[in-house]
Structure 1
Amino acid sequence: MPKNFVLDQRIERASDAIETGAAAYRGRWAEACCPLIPGGVERFDHVHLDLGCGKGAYIAAMAQRHPDTLFIGMDSEPVCVVHAAQLVLDLSLKNVLVIPGDAANLAGIFAPGELSSISVNFPTPHPKRRHARLRVTTAEHLDGYRSLIAEGGMLMLRTDSLPLYEYSLPQFKAIGWEVVCATHDDRAAHPEQPITEYEQRLTEQGATVHAIYARPASKPATPEQIQFALDMPQSLIDYLPEDLFADDYIPYGMSYAVDNLRNRRQHLAARQNA
C-alpha cells in the first residue's frame, strides 16, 4: 500500500460506491441501483458480477462500454474494495457498485436467475491440496453459481495459471456445464476483452491468458457428480507441465510449488549422477 494509506479513511472517502448491506438488495439489484434520471430507464437490462474484482479495472472498462448493464464488483480484500470503489468515483460511473464478500455469500446476496453473467479474472490459484476448497472453480462453487445465472447466461474464467485452467476445465464438465469456449490464448479468441493494467503487466512478463467460457447446467449437480469432481487430483502440482514452465514466466501463486519441484528434480539428478 502507498505510504500514509489509512484504510478506514479511504473506505469513508469511497463509501458512495461501496454497498455493505448487499443482502438487502437481493432480487432487486437492477431496479434499486438504477440512477434516478427524469425520463431515463427504470432498471438495468442486465446485472453482471465480477467475482474477485481486484482494483476494479475490468468492471470499470466494461461499464463504460455497456451503460445498460449494472456491474457489481466483489472482493474479500478491503484494500481492493477501496481501490475499485475509488476508481468508480473517479470515472463518475453510474452503473458500477463494489461490495465486500466472497463466493460463499452469493446466495444470500443474489436471487435465482438475477445475474446475467459472472466473470472471474485471474483468481488466486490456491495450489495446495488443503486449500483446494478455496478455489472459485471447484465443482461445489460452480454448482452454487448455477442457479444465480439467468437462462442463457455465462460464467467466464480468465487466468494466467495453466494448472488452474487444467484443474478447472474438468470441474465444469463433471457437473454438466456447457463449455462454450476453452482456450489457451484468450486475447486472440476474444480481442474485445478489456486489457487491464494487471493483464498488461502479466503479458509483458511472458504470460498467456487461458480462459473458459461456460453456461450452467440446467439441473443441480448430483452427489455423485460432486464426488467425481472431488476424486480428481486436488493439488495444482499434479497439473504442472512437464517442463515446469521452461521459460522465465511462472504463473501468479505458483512460484513456491514450481521452485520446490525444480529443486527436488535437481537434487535427484545430482544423486543419480554422483
Structure 2
Amino acid sequence: MRTARSRMPKDFSLEDRLAACADAVESDPASWAGAWRFWAPRESAASASNHESGKDAAADAFRTRPSRDASVRRETPYAHVCLDLGCGKGEYTVACAKANPDVLFVGLDIEGVCVMRGAERALAEGVSNVVFVFEENPDLDLSTLFAPGELDAILLNFSTPFPKKKKAPLRLTYVGRLMAYRAVLAEGGMVRLRTDSQPLRDFSLTQLELAGYDLRWSTDDVRAMFPDEPWSGYENKLVAQGATVYGFEAAPRMPGPDPESIVQTAPLSLVSYLPEDIESLDYVPHGMQGCVENMRGRRANRRAKGLPEWTRPVI
C-alpha cells in the first residue's frame, strides 16, 4: 500500500508544508509533558519566514522554535486533554475540537502528510484548541510525551487492524498497548474505539479484560448510539461502501493487573473472529478483503470436489 507521502508531487516538501502550518503542529511534544493543559501555539514558522528568504527559512524556523519554557503559555488551562491516536488527516480531531472549545485535542500520527493535512484543516477552520504531532515510531512510548494521569481520553478511530496473527502486537488495542495507556490516563479516563471491523472490536474486548479495563459500553452501531458525533474521513469512505461502525468505551480498573502475570489467551488472527458462515458477509472489514476471498475460494473448491466443508481456523 502506498503511503500518503508517496502520492504527493515530486517537488513536494513536507518540512515546508509543516512549517507553513506550524501554529497547529507541535515539533517538540516531549517538552509539554505535564503541561499540555496550558499548550499554546509558538511563534509560527510561517511568520518567522517573512523576515527571511527562501523555502529553507520556513523549515529552519519550524525546527528551531523555542522550547516550552520560552513559549507563550495559555493563561487558563484547558479542562481536559484528549489524544486522537492515529488521527489520520484530522477531520474527526478538528470537528471534535470545534465542538468542545474547553478541551485540548492532540492528534498524533506516524504519517507526516496526515499531520500536515490535519494542521492545515485546523488553521483553515480557525480551530485553536487542537494540535497535531508527527511521530514516526509506531512503538512510541506515550509516557515520553504525556505525564502520568495527563490524558482524559485516548480515541482510536478506524485504527489499522493488522489482521495477521504475527502483527497482532501492532494493533492499538493489543494488551501491551492498553497496559501502557494506563500510565497516562487520568482517574476516570477512558479508551474509546470506533472501527468498521467487527473482528477487531471483538478481539479488542478480549484485550480489555486482560489489561484490567471495565467496559462502559459496546455497540454494533456507534452512529445509531451517537448520531451527532463528528465523522472521520475513513468513516465517510467506509460507510459509503456499506460498513457499520462498531465501537466501545472502557476505563482502566484500579489497581491494574501485574504485567508479569498477564497470559495472552485470545486467538490473535482476526480471521478467528469472522463469522463461520463467511458467505453471509455483506461487508468485508477494511484490510481483510484478501483473506475473505481466499476463504470463500477454499470452500468453493472443496464443495466442487465433494470434500468436507472447510471451516475457518481459530489461531
TM over 0.5: yes
Q: What value does the CA root-mean-square deviation take over the aligned residues?
A: 2.2
In structure 2, what is the equivalent of residue 11 of structure 1?
A: 18
1:213 aligns with 2:220: no
Question: Which 10-residue stretch deviates more, 216-225 or 18-27?
Answer: 216-225
In structure 2, what is the equivalent of residue 32 of structure 1?
A: 39
Describe how 1:54-93 pairs up with structure 2 within 5 A.
54-93=88-127
In structure 2, what is the equivalent of residue 127 of structure 1?
A: 163
Q: Check the 8 A contact 2:23/2:41 in 1, yes or no.
A: no
Describe how 1:237-252 pairs up with structure 2 within 5 A.
237-244=271-278, 246-252=280-286
In structure 2, what is the equivalent of residue 147 of structure 1?
A: 183
1:165 aligns with 2:201: yes
- Return the letter of the residue paired with 1:23: A
In structure 1, what is the equivalent of residue 146 of structure 2?
A: 110
In structure 2, what is the equivalent of residue 261 of structure 1?
A: 295
Q: Percent identity?
A: 41
| 2:306 alignment partner, SS class | helix
**What is the TM-score of this pair, normalised by structure 1?**
0.91
Q: How far apart, CA to CA, are the structure 2 residues paired with 1:82 and 1:179?
A: 34
Q: Check the 8 A contact 1:174/1:225 in 2, yes or no.
A: no
Q: Check the 8 A contact 1:34/1:43 in 2, yes or no.
A: no
- Report the alpha carbon displacement of residue 152 of structure 1 after superposing the two structures with TM: 1.3
Question: Which 10-residue stretch deviates more, 22-31 or 249-258?
Answer: 249-258
Q: Check the 8 A contact 1:34/1:95 in 2, yes or no.
A: no
Deviations 1:209-259 (A, max 9, x none): 1001001121232246521xx231111111111232634421111112211
Higher RCO (Cα < 8 Å, 6 or more apart) = 1
- Report the alpha carbon displacement of residue 43 of structure 1 after superposing the two structures with TM: 1.1
Q: How far apart, CA to CA, are the structure 1 residues paired with 2:290 and 2:120?
A: 33
Q: How far apart, CA to CA, are the structure 1 residues paired with 2:150 and 2:38?
A: 11
**What is the TM-score of this pair, normalised by structure 2?**
0.80
| 2:140 alignment partner, SS class | helix
Q: How far apart, CA to CA, are the structure 1 residues paired with 2:20 and 2:122?
A: 12
Q: Which runs of 5+ in 1 are unaligned?
A: none
Aligned residues: 269
Q: How far apart, CA to CA, are the structure 2 residues paired with 1:163 and 1:5?
A: 40
Q: Check the 8 A contact 1:52/1:74 in 2, yes or no.
A: yes
Question: Which 10-residue stretch deviates more, 131-140 or 5-14?
Answer: 5-14
In structure 2, what is the equivalent of residue 182 of structure 1?
A: 218
Q: Check the 8 A contact 2:89/2:233 in 1, yes or no.
A: no
Deviations 1:53-99 (A, max 9, x none): 00001111111111100000000111211111111111121110000
1:95 aligns with 2:129: yes
1:199 aligns with 2:206: no
Question: Which 10-residue stretch deviates more, 12-21 or 53-62?
Answer: 12-21
Q: Which runs of 5+ in 2 are unaligned?
A: 1-6, 44-73, 308-315
Q: How far apart, CA to CA, are the structure 2 residues paired with 1:158 and 1:263?
A: 30
